[in-house]
Structure 1
Amino acid sequence: MGYAGSIRPVIDRVYVGTRASGRDRVLAVYAERGLTPGFESSFYFGLLARPMPAASFAAATVYGGGDMSAELRQGIAEVDADGTWRLTDRGRTVAGAVQRVLGEVAAERWAPGPPLDSVLPGPPAVPRLADLVGRLLEAGQATGGAAFRAMAPVYEPADASPELRLMTRLGALRHHRADAHRAAWRAAGLTAAQVSALPAGPRRRAVEDDTDRRDEPIYRVLDAGERIELLAGLGALP
């Protein structure tokens, strides 16, 4: 297994785990505005920076479908004749609030523990980890697919904390692999439904191996020591 395959579950644990910890607070952001979550909750880091072209929208929503009736009904998003989606002022407000809340949740979740924990490269390494992931996002402009190009460069407020920056950048980074995965199963002649139902075995392993191969180039911007630093630093976060 290459580096891309090794770091994927680590990235997912940090990002998905932090989002899960903040689920109730994100829902509260919507409840206090009388809204329900939409695509801005998942793609805030890209949508706050730029509109999402039709091809990027199709790529990013290939598994869950593209029903945007709730977003349109609530006045969160709008679409033009070319199929490009953009946030309305209301959508930008709620997306920005989601980003801030997730940054706060990350800061609390990654807060330094007892003195004995201070020797671990965990919370104190967050600024450095954010910088390393930022370099990956820059490198990904040359290797990412349609979804990734809609997510990066990411939007970050001027006063963004290191925790907010790392969460935001990890969210976008995950779409580089998502693009690689879509390309891999399409190359294998599968549909989204077929790959989702594919059991463990040689055919699924082949798709995952091809995904790793397509995802690997983004990490070549880091030298060997930096790759270890990123893997160990993310792995040490609570």
Structure 2
Amino acid sequence: MLYAAVVRPVIDRVHVSLRNAVRPQVRELYGRRGLTPGVEIDVFYALLDHPVPESALAARMVYWPFDPEAAEAPGLVERVDGCWRLTGDGRAVALEAERVFAAAAERLWSFRPSPSLPGLAAVEAVLPLVERLLEAGQAHGGPVFRALTPVWEPAGASPSALLVSRLEALRHYRADAHRAAWGAAGLTVAQVQALGPGPERDAIEAETNRLDGVVYEALDADERLVLLGGLGALPDGLADR
């Protein structure tokens, strides 16, 4: 449980910093088509691999306003037989977005302002560990995690490209744990979003960590340190912004 609480912000830092780094390019990618990024950019690694059940995507979007008809309107995603899938145009956009993410990750994570920093060696060290976590998660992960995995991995993808998609998938495991924690506490999404600091919030976070911590049992103590240290060593570029 303690490990889940410690590694969670490290994973989030890596994820958020990469999303921040690619935002201008993603907007330009959509802008060339007269569009703005929609729900598909949040789950494109899964959609490139397989259709996603409507219920799973609705759960994924529970914290934000989500209008399925508006999501379909630009023509990049569509609902067929109870699932979301990419259209032909949507797949073209998603493939280009994947290349943008992969290139940004390689550029960001290879930065070594000091020779003591591992750079891309850290990516190679943590990649197989994250893969094992995703495999372990199939046994007891929540509905969104199961619906959004496996993720699409192109042939010949770099370790950086693979780590981007796998970390994205791993974050869904914790998100399921959090939804389960506040749901078991009898809260609605509006109530949990309005919840301030205090015992009730602390209890939900503790239960989230307990549920999330199960997946890390797939790693031994040394491997957990490698995962934490490797992800923690990845540059995020945030200090320059």
> Which residue of 2 is the match for residue 8 of structure 1?
8
For 1:166, which of 157, 163, 179 is the aligned residue?
163
> Which residue of 1 is the match for residue 238 of structure 2?
none
The residue type paired with residue 154 of structure 2 is P
Q: CA deviation at 1:153?
A: 1.3
Which runs of structure 1 show a deviation greater than 4 angstroms over 4 or more consecutive aligned residues?
none
> Which residue of 1 is the match for residue 233 of structure 2?
236
Q: CA deviation at 1:54?
A: 2.4
Q: TM-score, normalised by structure 1?
A: 0.94
| Structure-1 separation of matches of 2:222 and 2:189 | 36
| Structure-2 separation of matches of 1:51 and 1:131 | 26
> Which residue of 1 is the match for residue 45 of structure 2?
45
Shift of the 162–99 alpha-carbon distance from structure 1 to 2, 3 Å rule, reads same
> Which residue of 1 is the match for residue 67 of structure 2?
67
Task: For 1:15-164, list aligned pairs within 5 A.
Answer: 15-81=15-81, 83-114=82-113, 117-164=114-161
| Structure-2 separation of matches of 1:24 and 1:134 | 29
> Which residue of 1 is the match for residue 175 of structure 2?
178
> When the two structures are aligned, how many residues end up with a matched partner?
235
| Structure-2 separation of matches of 1:64 and 1:111 | 34
Q: CA deviation at 1:120?
A: 2.7
- 8 A Cα contact 1:121 1:232, kept in partner: no
CA RMSD of superposed structures (Å): 1.4
Cα shift readout 1:139-170 (whole Å, capped 9, x = no counterpart): 11112111111221110111211111111111
| Structure-2 separation of matches of 1:11 and 1:47 | 22
The residue type paired with residue 98 of structure 1 is A
Q: CA deviation at 1:197?
A: 0.8
Q: CA deviation at 1:129?
A: 1.5
Q: CA deviation at 1:36?
A: 1.6
| Structure-2 separation of matches of 1:218 and 1:59 | 21
| Structure-2 separation of matches of 1:236 and 1:102 | 19
| Structure-2 separation of matches of 1:153 and 1:24 | 27
Quote the sequence identity (%): 53
| Structure-1 separation of matches of 2:174 and 2:153 | 22
The residue type paired with residue 189 of structure 2 is A
Where does the alignment leave 5 or more consecutive residues of structure 2 unmatched? 236-241
| Structure-2 separation of matches of 1:130 and 1:100 | 18
Q: CA deviation at 1:48?
A: 0.9
> Which residue of 1 is the match for residue 198 of structure 2?
201
Q: CA deviation at 1:206?
A: 0.2
Out of 94-103 and 195-204, give the one that drifted further: 94-103
Where does the alignment leave 5 or more consecutive residues of structure 1 unmatched? none
The residue type paired with residue 100 of structure 2 is V
Look up the SS of the partner of 1:119 in the other structure: coil
